[in-house]
Amino acid sequence: MTTIVKITAKGQTTIPQDIRAALHVAAGDLIAWEMAEDGSARVRRVQPLDIEYLRAVEGTLSEWASKADEEAYREL
C-alpha cells in the first residue's frame, strides 16, 4: 500500500487513517522511525514503557550504580 502525503514547513505530516489503522496507533501513541542503509525508512508502533515495572527493576541494579561503573560505561 502506498500513500503520498505532504510535509509541512514544520516537518509535520498527517498519517493517513488506513495507515494508522494498520499500525494500530491513535492520538498520543508513540511511533519509531528507522532508517535503512538503502535510504528507505520504516515506521512502527512503540509500546510505552511500564514505569512501575522499571522502578521495581531499578532497585535490583544497584550493584551497577557505583562511580566506577559510571566512568567505565559513560561512553557506551
| Grid coordinates belonging to 21 | 489503522
pTM over 0.75: no
Q: Which is more confidently placed, 68 or 50?
A: 68
CA nearest 29: which of 14, 48, 11?
48
Which of 12-16, 30-34, 69-73 is predicted with the least confidence, judged by mean pLDDT?
69-73
Q: Which residues contact 41 (CB under 8 A, 6 or more apart)?
A: 33, 34, 35
| Grid coordinates belonging to 13 | 505530516
Question: Does residue 22 carry a pLDDT above 80?
Answer: yes
The arithmetic mean of pLDDT across residues 30-50, rounded, is 88
Domain positions in the chain: 17-73
pLDDT band at 5 (very low <50, low <70, confident <90, very high): very high
Question: Does residue 50 carry a pLDDT above 70?
Answer: no
